[in-house]
Structure 1
């Protein structure tokens, strides 16, 4: 079984005012078995291991994101949030927007869930932008119908789809007042993962301008998370400075940070056979990555990204 990297960093080195990790996972398959239709089989990543990680980095609040390996059964999420403890930790859940009952969604809310992760895998929408719009609308309708002050998180591996999603977001999510979050830099790439003209001019890569417009106008939150999904230059990810600065300069009030602990592999469509095989966690130097971010951000931007912005998004239920 893969070892989960631990970094001996004094508490509060990075977060003397406290801070939020807005995207992490817990996997305890011995207690809560994975879905038989999962897209990935991670090793165990327990609450105890996460608590050690949290304390050593020094952030004080977190948002536990339901692992898609559990499908749309949020029994584990509700239990994990309870064990981590409200109000310090809240949850982002996953539902089947066509089958999950209102009672289950309200039970999730009572358990500390404050948002939903749009599961494109389950709807066969990974490569189909029209299905992505349909799925996003189905999730939105469930939140609106129950008058929940929740957010939606959606990330597409096809960044060019944002050119089509941009007007959809403005037409449907903005009037509904439901915040939309995209994690992992919206899977926009640093130069080390681009080729040709896009490597020389990364702002010309597909979807870049649409994403930045949505951020600029306050229609999209972007999460600085999982740099290893968008750059080959670990552990410091130097070539991500341009993307961090682009997001912050577009709208510093629409940027948040998540660890993506315990660092599952890059997103892709897997065969069922591959999905059933245990996939080890990536070996990530979280401290080196955070130090890079600290160099690129002012004190005000740091406080917004790690404290104020996530508190505005998730604080009402945390």
Structure 2
């Protein structure tokens, strides 16, 4: 990163955070977020040595990326973003997003207002959106970020084998502590790793674990072993699964990485890995 605009800031990357504006419209039937501006997470993450953030579009805003894009634009290249886009997005809009730091498009198969791989109700499926967007994302050097369950991984692996755009897998690829060793998701995860995909060490409480999340230590080691240097960490701040007055301590989301990985793996997950993927 020598000579880049990122140099003045702490070297660590928190590769999965959300920002919220309490005045922005939200999807009906979903949660209403508390106001969580970019400055809040910059201060908190910076205190722990993470000077760069990857802002991920939360499901509650659908494909309206205004809050995220405004936050990126205000910081002139310091952070990166992952948005939600319809296939109808034009090239000029993609170029503008790229210029302010967007590097990926999210597909959410888990949220109540997310999407499904094969839509049953006549709407567009995630598979159809993938086929429409993936060649354009590949041309930009962007990736597809999946928030998925273990049972979705074989289909995701097949999609990326057919169209080799880079894949990034949210929240330990959904591999919760209860996933059996012979679950088909493990074989699909091996395929995805072999295809050059990346995985985020994040969202422990979304995987059926309770703090300090020791039930996931072996799974973290196994997943990190598959992906090697293509393993990155994210806090998942501001932890929308919790009440606003009961948020996990920021450091608690890094502790499973400290326990499970070697010093070299940890350093890569917080610095070299995300700097390579996003910067």
Which one of the candidate residues 133, 144, 155 is aligned to 1:152? 144
Separation (CA, whole Å) in 2 of partners of 1:251 and 1:49? 31
Separation (CA, whole Å) in 2 of partners of 1:104 and 1:70? 18
Separation (CA, whole Å) in 2 of partners of 1:219 and 1:128? 28
The aligned residue for residue 185 of structure 1 is: 172
Which one of the candidate residues 2, 24, 49 is aligned to 2:17? 24
TM-score, normalisation: structure 2: 0.85
Equivalences for 1:68-79 in 2 at 5 Å? 68-79=59-70
RMSD: 2.6
The 1:38/1:138 distance shift into structure 2, 3 A limit, reads farther
Q: Please identify the structure whose Cα radius of gyration is greater.
A: 1
State the Cα distance separating 1:213 from its structure 2 match: 3.1
The aligned residue for residue 231 of structure 2 is: 255
Tell me the SS of whatever aligns to 2:44.
helix
Is the Cα contact below 8 Å between 1:81 and 1:111 reproduced in 2? yes
State the Cα distance separating 1:255 from its structure 2 match: 0.9
The aligned residue for residue 267 of structure 2 is: 303
Equivalences for 1:120-199 in 2 at 5 Å? 120=109, 124-125=115-116, 131-144=125-138, 147-157=139-149, 159-173=150-164, 178-190=165-177, 194=178
Separation (CA, whole Å) in 2 of partners of 1:123 and 1:140? 18
**Structure 1 alignment gaps of length 5 or more:** 1-16, 267-278
Is the Cα contact below 8 Å between 1:231 and 1:240 reproduced in 2? no
Is the Cα contact below 8 Å between 2:118 and 2:127 reproduced in 1? no
State the Cα distance separating 1:133 from its structure 2 match: 2.3
Separation (CA, whole Å) in 2 of partners of 1:282 and 1:228? 13
State the Cα distance separating 1:126 from its structure 2 match: 5.9
- The one of the two structures with greater contact order (alpha-carbon pairs below 8 A, sep at least 6) is 1
Q: Number of aligned residue pairs: give it.
A: 266
Is the Cα contact below 8 Å between 1:92 and 1:117 reproduced in 2? yes
The 1:72/1:18 distance shift into structure 2, 3 A limit, reads same
The 1:38/1:73 distance shift into structure 2, 3 A limit, reads farther
State the Cα distance separating 1:44 from its structure 2 match: 1.3
Is the Cα contact below 8 Å between 1:263 and 1:282 reproduced in 2? no
Separation (CA, whole Å) in 2 of partners of 1:133 and 1:281? 38
Is the Cα contact below 8 Å between 1:25 and 1:260 reproduced in 2? yes
The aligned residue for residue 94 of structure 1 is: 84
The 1:21/1:124 distance shift into structure 2, 3 A limit, reads closer
State the Cα distance separating 1:50 from its structure 2 match: 1.1
**Structure 2 alignment gaps of length 5 or more:** 1-9
Which one of the candidate residues 236, 250, 255 is aligned to 1:291? 255
State the Cα distance separating 1:295 from its structure 2 match: 2.5
* 291-300 or 224-233, larger mean C-alpha shift: 291-300
